[in-house]
Structures are given as C-alpha cells and as structure tokens.
Structure 1
Amino acid sequence: MQPQRQQKPDVSVVVIGYDDEANITDAVRSALAQGAAVREVVAVDDCSTDGTFEALTHLAETEPRLRVIRRETNSGGCGSPRNTGIDAVTSSYVMFLDSDDVLPPGAVDALLRAAREERAEVVSGLCVRRELPSGREVLWQDSLYRESAVLERPAQLPALVHDTLCVNKLYRTDFLRERSIRFPEGRFRYEDFVFTARVLAAGPRMALIPDRVYVWHVRRSAEQLSISLDRGDIGNWQARAEASRQAYDILLSAGQKELARAARAKFLDHELRMYVRELDLRDAEYRRAWWTHTREYLGEYDAADWTVNQTAPGRLLARVILASPEPRDLPRLKELAARPTRLCPPYARDRDGTPVWADDLPQLTLEPFLTRPAHQLPLAVDAELHPGARVTALRLRLHELYGRVAPAGPRELAVEWRHRERGLTRRTATVALTPSADGTWAAETAVDLAGLGAGTWDLRLHVRFADGTTREMTAHARTGPGLLRRRVVPSLLHGVLLVQPYATHSGALAVRMATGPRGVTSVLRGRLRRLFR
C-alpha cells in the first residue's frame, strides 16, 4: 500500500450479514479502522435470528460512524440487503463488505485516491482468498491487477468479466443510482455476476490498482457453507448457469458484444471446469441432471463462441458434453478440467488418422492440437509414490500425444512439492526422461518425505524439451492396488511418519503426512472418531 494520507470523509462501506454474530463485528471494525476517509459504515442485518443485530447495536453505541439497519423480513440472499445499503448511504462513494470478510489496512485510501486522481466511476483492486484456519492465501484474478491501469471503458479489457466480485471495488454512488444499477432481489444466488455485468454494461471509466483491498475468508469447515462452496446440490449449478446467462444477456443488450463473448468464454474456462472436476464426487442422479442442464445451456452458444481458441480445455469439455446425451468419460474429463490441464489416454484417431476424442465420437476432432507447440500441449504424466522404510520412490511416466512429443525431444523432469497450507515450494530433483518401448518416457527419483515434513504436499512437475522450452504440469495419480493407501514409515528424523498418497479432486497426485508419534496418534484418533459417529 502507498503511505496513507488524511483524506476527506467520502466513502460509505455497506456491511451485510445474516446470523453471523461470530464474525460481523470484526468486519465492521475493519471498515471503521480504514480511517478518516470512511464517513460511515452502514450495517444491514437481514433479519437475523441469532445475536447479530444486538452485537451491531451494541457496537454502534460507541461508534458514531456506524449506522445499523434491520430488515423486517429475511430476503434469502445477499442482493436485497446490499440494495438497502445503496439506498441508505450518504457518501460520494460506496463499497461492499460481507460479514465474514475484512478490509485490509489502507484499502479505502488506495481506492479513493485512485478514484479522485483518475476521475474514475469504478475502482477495482486485488482480492485475497484466505483459507481458514490455515491462513493460506490465494490471489483472486491477480493477472488483472499486476499494475495500475485506467480504462475509458471496460471493453478495452474483456478479461474484466472474470472478476465477478462486487466487494473489491469502490463505486461512485451517483453512478449506481443514476444508472439504476442494483443487485437482483430476493433469493438469487451469484448475484455478483448480474450486478457486475450491469456495472460493465454501463461503460464506466475504470481504474485498476495492484493494492490489496479485500480479504475473502474461505471457511470450508463451517456448518453453513457459503454459496460459492456449497456446490453439492444441482440447484447451485442451475443458479450459477442462470446468473451467467443473465450476465451475458445484460452485456449483449447494452451493445457490449466483446464483453458478452468474453463472458461466455469465461463460463467454459472457469465454471464448467470447476464443476466437472467434482462430478465424480456426486451420485448418478446429480450427474444426469447436471449433464442435461449443461447441454441445454451450452445449446444457447452460437457458432462464433466455438471458433476462438479451439484447444482451450473448457471448449473441449463443452464439445464432449454437447456430443453425448448421457454422462461419459468422467475420469478423463476431470483430468482435462485440471489446472494445468491434462489430456490423458486413450488417444483415438478416425479412419483418416485425424486425432479425435474417442472412437465412438469421430466427429469430435482434436486436429488443432497438431499445430500447437509441444510446451503448450495438455500433456499427461502418470505418477506413483511408493513409501518405504529405507527409500520412498516416485515413478513418473510421460505419455505421447498424437505424435507431437517425440519430435520435441523431452529431456528431463524437475520435481517440486508445494505445501498447500504454508505455500512453501521445495524442488527436490531433476531427473532424466528415458524412452520406453511402449512409446512413453519414464523417470524415477527418491523422495525425502521426512525432509518435507507434516502437512499436505502437491506434486508439480516441469518437463524440459530439447529446445529449452518447458511445460509446468501436475501428475495423474495412478490408482492401482495398494498405490493410494496409508502407510506408517519409520523415520530417523521424526521417529515415525504416517504417509497418505491420494488423488485430488482433479485426479492429481498429492500426499498428506503426519510426523512423530503425537502427529500419527492424532490422525488415527480422528479417523476412529469419524468411523464411530
């Protein structure tokens, strides 16, 4: 953040909450702590049934900048209370904050300074997703915020449609009111999608800043999951598709054809890939309903939606779904939806030798892959981890892909392990790739599990080709007999290790480890408690 300067009170922060007594005062305090630039915090309680309203009114007794509004009935969503806030604020600028999140120090100053200096109607900054309780942070759409930028109109940067959040932005209040830009009312999931589309459709002058302006708390173990995390029922997917449809229609109706096209591409690249990675976790009834609904939605796409970047993973996923009346190839689709993407065997061809998705789908050609550079292909590597008392072996096998890999000359694999909670990266080896008789390339290396330590570690690989180019990738976890089972391994450093290789939601190899007798005992006790619930 830039050094803070005293600014004229000109910002209202709208905080919304429902039955969130445990967190809402922290959210409000983070807004009040922004300093003199915040004229008021308007806290809208959506008719909570716990102590949320009482906690807010108690805080307001000692905070003159805090106004508390209690809605008479619960709206069932986030849009209505935010609209209540828009109607109530008295400042020139407004921003939104959810009750379970916080504003980092200096956020309002950075946003307001850009709004004034650049005469911007909307200023957008960097949001950080913070996993709780681990504290691990992931930057949201950080490619948009690597440096400051000013846009006379959003269409200058179509990638803006990927940032559907409303909370990491400062809006000129008159801009929202004069253009009648509001959130969908009532129980409407993914209301941010529609609101953000309305903002972009209005064509505001925008400023983008690299400052951290919002901390989005992700609580995966919460009793009541947030809308974005609660994806287990088909209604969630239907709501997400409907919000995406409305966003597209809003942009198209406003004449923002480029943004509308980008919104459709974003659905394929983000929404579709995310839900496909989780399909095998759902039951057969969900999968059939999801498949049917997705085919209906994708049927609305026109020819131009499929012509750009035909090798993009989301487009290939969508084409497979459209070509198949019933769910199929879920394990392979899950690998294709991974980040980075993996196109796993089998590699079928039609009668003319053209690459196709499958023998029974010859019309679904993969011919564009024949012209992409090898280091941009969705290559697949199989991985096996064999924990042992003396040596833990990691065995890797790189697959050929329609004859493109061998001419590129794959030379070696660099092996990295990334700690999921702490964000550490440890490169442990660089190993040569050896051609095999079956047309693949093999590599093997020892892994010092004790040196990695406790926690969850994700395997990442970098394959290097003869011309010096590299491809970063994850590895498909082999699932043969005994490969993904928990093992207790003796360790000179820790005494004992509990090692659990497993496949992530996207099918990639990862490993969980507990160290020492206490760590191992804690894991085993937790497992027993779950078994006997």
Structure 2
Amino acid sequence: MDIDVESDAPSVTVIVIGYDDAAHVADAVRSALAQGPAVREVIAVDDCSADGSGALLDELAAGERRLTVVHRATNSGGCGTPRNDGIDRASSPYVMFLDSDDVLPPGAVDALLAAAVEHGAQVTAGLCVRRELPSGSEVLWQPELYAKPSAIDRPVDHPRLVHDTLCVNKLYRTDFLRTHAIRFPDGRFVYEDFVFTARVLAAGPRMALIPDRVYVWHVRRAAGKLSLSLDRAGIDNWQARIDAHRAAVEILLGSSQKPLGHASRAHFVDHSLRMYARELDLRGPEYRAAWWTRTRAHLESFDPADLEAAPAPGRVLAHLLLASGTPRDLPRVKELAARPARLLPPYARTPDGTPVWSADLPQVSLAHLLHRPTDLLPLAVDGELRPGARGTQLTLRLHELYGRVADAGPRTVDVELVDRRDGEVVQRRTAEFADGPGSEKPAEDGTWVASTPLDLSSPASRGGTFDLRLRLRFADGTHRDTTAHAVRGPGLLQRVAVPSRRHGILLVQPYATHSGSLAVRTAPGVRGVASVVRRRTGRLFGTRGRG
C-alpha cells in the first residue's frame, strides 16, 4: 500500500501491539477498523507470540486491506519496541496507539482528528476510561484535565499535563514525532509511557484536549498473567516505576519545559507514593524494607519545593519516610495514603502544642491541620458493620482531630451504599452523632458515635460488592466526604449467612479494601451462597473462574 505520509488528508494510523493475547487482539484490531475511513491503516505488531496471535492477525489481514501485520522475529520484552516499529512504518499524517487487550470506543478517532485539525495541534488528547473486568465498573482517568475542550500553546503553562502519563489516549502528528526523534524506550522497560510522554512534552507541542471518551483501558486483575504495570507484588515493579519517573524528570528538567519536571515530582508524591503505600501491608518484611529504602533514596533527590508542592497526605508520607530509616506505623501510613485520606490516632503534639506525626518524630509536622479547610481534613471514622438475623447495624465512630472536629460541631452523617459495578447508590441513610459528656465534646475515648440500620436485602437482589460513602455534616455548615476505616476484631469482617424474606438466605461479608475502607459483599439466595463456596474452593485448589 503506497500512501504518502506528507499528504494533507487528515487520516490516522492506529498501531496495535500484542504479545500472546490471542483472546483479545482481534477485538482491539476490529475496534480500530470500526472507526471508519479516518483510519487509513492499522498496523498490528505481533511481538513474537507463541499462542497463535500472529496467525489470527494474518487471517484478519487477508480480508482487510487497511490492516498490515508486522511479525517480530524475537520478543522485545516490553511495549516500547513494537510501538517504535509501528511509528517507523506509519504512513498517515497522524498516529495513535492501542494495546491488544483494550479497545477504541466508537467515534474516538473522529473526535480526536477533528480537534487536531481545528486547532492545528501536534498532540490531541481525550478521556481514557479504566474498565474493571469482569464487573464492568468504570473510572475516568484524570477527568479534571478533560472537563472541557481546550487548546494549549505552551505545555509549560499547564503543569497538570504531567498527571496524564498515558500514551494511548492521544493522537500525534507523525511528522512531530519524527522531527523530534520521539520514541519509546526499547526492550523490557516497564512504564515506558512515562518516558515517552516526557519526551513529547519536552518538545513543547501545541495541544488540544477534548472531553470525549477516546480509549477504553481494560483492567483484568484476575487474569492468569497480569500486565506489566499491574504486577506490583515484587519490588522490581516499584524500582521500575522509580527509574521511569527519574528518567522522565531528567528529560523535562533538561528542556524548555523545566517547571513540568518539578510538577512531575509533586505528582509522584501524591499519586505513585500513595498508591504503593496503601499496599505495604500486603507485602512481606523484605519487600517493605526494600521499598522504604529505595523510596527514601528517590525522595532525597527531590528539591524541598517539590515536596511542599504536593498535596498534604502525600507530602506528610514523604516527610515520614525521609525522617525514618526503617518502616514504621504501617497501619497509619496505609490509612493516610487512602483516598480520601484518613489520619488514625494517636494525635501527638510537641510541648508548644504543634501537631506532629509522633512524639519521637517531631520533625514530621502536622501543623497544617490547624488551618486546613474542614472539607479537606483527613478525618478518621471507624466503621463496624454487624449483620444479623434481626438486621444489619452500622456503627460509626468519628475521632477528634486536634480540636478541629469539636470546633466544627459534628451533627449528622449521611451514609450511601454504592454498587461498585456501576456507581449506583442503592441505599441512603442519615444518622445523628451522639454528643459526649458536655456540649460539642466527644466521649471519653475521643469519638462521636452514630449508628443506623442498613437493609441489605434490597441491594443484595443484584449481589456484588458495595462501598460505603460518608458525608459528615457539622453545625458550622461545613461537611467532609470520606469513607470509614474498617475495624478489625472479634465477630467483625466475617462472612455471615442471615435469613432474608426476599431470598430465603443472604450471605453477607463486611471486609476491608486494600486502602482499609469498609465495604460489603453480598450473595443472595442458595445459588448465590453456593457460587461463593465454589469460587472459594477453586481458589484453595488453584483453579480460576470467570464468573
């Protein structure tokens, strides 16, 4: 196929990369071809698969003139090299990337291409949707960036651009990439997007941002083989993330977009640091020690201003790591790293009354909590959910926080039960906080208590996993949206079979999420209970289900 890349026709080459993904690669390719005539060609690069992916792609290409298949003779070990192969072969004025286990939603290319042409943009970006499978629940990636259409002449004036490190939700001028020799790191390089995106931003492109959904990122956490970025159980993954981030920062600091390098460091503290800190209690002592040491070394390379520019929860965690040579206070670390952040007691002060992380680490100041707006305070709410034959009771205990809670005057808490699959609120309750001895004062244990019954029989008719969302309301008119810390103890967080008028029997399990938040799973009826038992048995004997 002889196509001139310098042609003025606004058309796109979609580069699809895959390795041993015969189960999904055809869907990815078809989603690219289904974009219509704006996609002049699809280049599918098979990274030396051994599962028949290459033959499957050849079969598709035999019936589709726009599809070209590239067979690599050796496996590259990563995603960068096959994407570079695609860039080298692209023959359209614009290029974009698609992974074999993801899809492009209808209209994605037309939306990106129209904005690119209208604004003369060298890079055009849109919304990426993270879709959890098999549940189908969706989370928007960096939605604040794409709230409305915009054109950007100078990336350096928009530091939030560094928050979106993905390469797949963007359309690039092919000549822009080639003129600036912008390529992905070759070989086995995890988080290659970090480096590629930094090279793109360092070149100072004119950019267009659109609110349209342009990419569906499929997240398969139960897959037999996790993607390179999702496989976070080993310390090598964290080291790879640090290495990629360091390389990206060096690229930005060495360019005319230098402020973006400092913004990238602040984002690392707020995003990467908090994400991995939430999972520390899932790892063994050896991993924790290595993670702590390597993270401290990376943070020591940051300018003090980079840390201070990060939002408070991540900034406090960074100062804690720098102040302590060994892992400590991991339950509190996990809760502060949660979203929203929760700061568990104890609440220490220096002799002059300044809030600090602990008495033995007075250099880790929490003084910002004395003047932080109420709706941003890391308030800690303990949650206990007790299913029983007479109903399910939710008890919440709100902790005092350096006098800020008493000053605001807690009044009520709105409780929402949210289906994780689609975000639907399936039940709402409001409970009043009981005052302790004396007006506007907590009880002797430093908490205010609220309790409300939950009717799980109605949401349980659909079964699944439900998150608890809270809105704390105060007498001064302020409020704080948060979640509850799942309390562990005798009789808590256990699977319970309770009678149900609607289903006969209902299996209820309160549990703690990875970030420590209280959530609940339900399985209605005898069939639901049997399904849970089968899945549990399958895990015990090493089998997997897809239901």
Give the TM-score, by structure 2 length.
Answer: 0.94
Q: Does the residue aligned with 2:175 lie in a helix, a strand or coil?
A: helix
Contact 1:107 / 1:211 at 8 angstroms: preserved in 2? yes
Q: Aligned residue for 1:528?
A: 537
Matches of residues 108-507 of structure 1 in structure 2 within 5 Å? 108-308=109-309, 312-436=312-436, 437-438=443-444, 439-453=446-460, 454-507=463-516
Q: Residue type matched to 1:491 in 2?
A: S
- In 1, the alpha carbon distance for the partners of 2:91 and 2:165 equals 26
Deviation at residue 245 of structure 1 after TM alignment = 0.6
Contact 1:168 / 1:213 at 8 angstroms: preserved in 2? yes
Contact 2:263 / 2:306 at 8 angstroms: preserved in 1? no
Listed one character per residue, the Cα deviations across residues 490-511 of structure 1 (whole Å, up to 9, x for unaligned) are: 0111111111111111111011
- In 1, the alpha carbon distance for the partners of 2:172 and 2:101 equals 21
Contact 2:10 / 2:38 at 8 angstroms: preserved in 1? yes
Q: Residue type matched to 2:157 in 1?
A: Q
Contact 1:414 / 1:427 at 8 angstroms: preserved in 2? no
Q: Does the residue aligned with 1:362 lie in a helix, a strand or coil?
A: strand
Matches of residues 91-110 of structure 1 in structure 2 within 5 Å? 91-110=92-111
Deviates most, 170-179 or 130-139: 130-139
Contact 1:8 / 1:36 at 8 angstroms: preserved in 2? no
Listed one character per residue, the Cα deviations across residues 339-376 of structure 1 (whole Å, up to 9, x for unaligned) are: 11101111011122211101111121111111112222
Deviation at residue 152 of structure 1 after TM alignment = 0.2
- In 2, the alpha carbon distance for the partners of 1:363 and 1:11 equals 54
Q: Aligned residue for 2:4?
A: none
Deviation at residue 225 of structure 1 after TM alignment = 0.3
Q: Does the residue aligned with 1:398 lie in a helix, a strand or coil?
A: strand
Deviation at residue 307 of structure 1 after TM alignment = 2.8
Deviation at residue 255 of structure 1 after TM alignment = 3.0
Deviation at residue 8 of structure 1 after TM alignment = 4.7
Instruction: Specify every segment of 5 or more residues in structure 1 that has no aligned partner in the other structure, as ranges.
Output: 1-6
- In 2, the alpha carbon distance for the partners of 1:307 and 1:85 equals 41
Q: Aligned residue for 2:523?
A: 514
Contact 1:9 / 1:38 at 8 angstroms: preserved in 2? no
Q: Does the residue aligned with 1:435 lie in a helix, a strand or coil?
A: coil
- In 2, the alpha carbon distance for the partners of 1:360 and 1:130 equals 44
Deviation at residue 269 of structure 1 after TM alignment = 0.8
Q: Does the residue aligned with 2:218 lie in a helix, a strand or coil?
A: strand
- In 1, the alpha carbon distance for the partners of 2:491 and 2:258 equals 53
- In 2, the alpha carbon distance for the partners of 1:365 and 1:8 equals 58
Contact 2:392 / 2:454 at 8 angstroms: preserved in 1? yes
Question: RMSD across aligned C-alpha pairs, in angstroms?
Answer: 1.3
Deviates most, 497-506 or 418-427: 418-427
Contact 2:10 / 2:117 at 8 angstroms: preserved in 1? no
Deviation at residue 530 of structure 1 after TM alignment = 3.1
Q: Residue type matched to 1:461 in 2?
A: L
Q: Quick one: percent identity of the two aligned structures?
A: 66
Deviation at residue 440 of structure 1 after TM alignment = 1.7
Deviation at residue 60 of structure 1 after TM alignment = 0.7
Q: Aligned residue for 1:71?
A: 72
Q: Does the residue aligned with 1:426 lie in a helix, a strand or coil?
A: strand
- In 2, the alpha carbon distance for the partners of 1:306 and 1:274 equals 17
Q: How many residues align?
A: 526
Q: Does the residue aligned with 1:116 lie in a helix, a strand or coil?
A: helix
Instruction: Specify every segment of 5 or more residues in structure 2 that has no aligned partner in the other structure, as ranges.
Output: 1-7, 437-442, 543-547
Q: Aligned residue for 1:31?
A: 32
Contact 2:418 / 2:469 at 8 angstroms: preserved in 1? yes
Give the TM-score, by structure 1 length.
Answer: 0.97
Contact 2:396 / 2:450 at 8 angstroms: preserved in 1? yes
Deviation at residue 435 of structure 1 after TM alignment = 2.0
- In 2, the alpha carbon distance for the partners of 1:171 and 1:529 equals 46
Deviates most, 363-372 or 197-206: 363-372
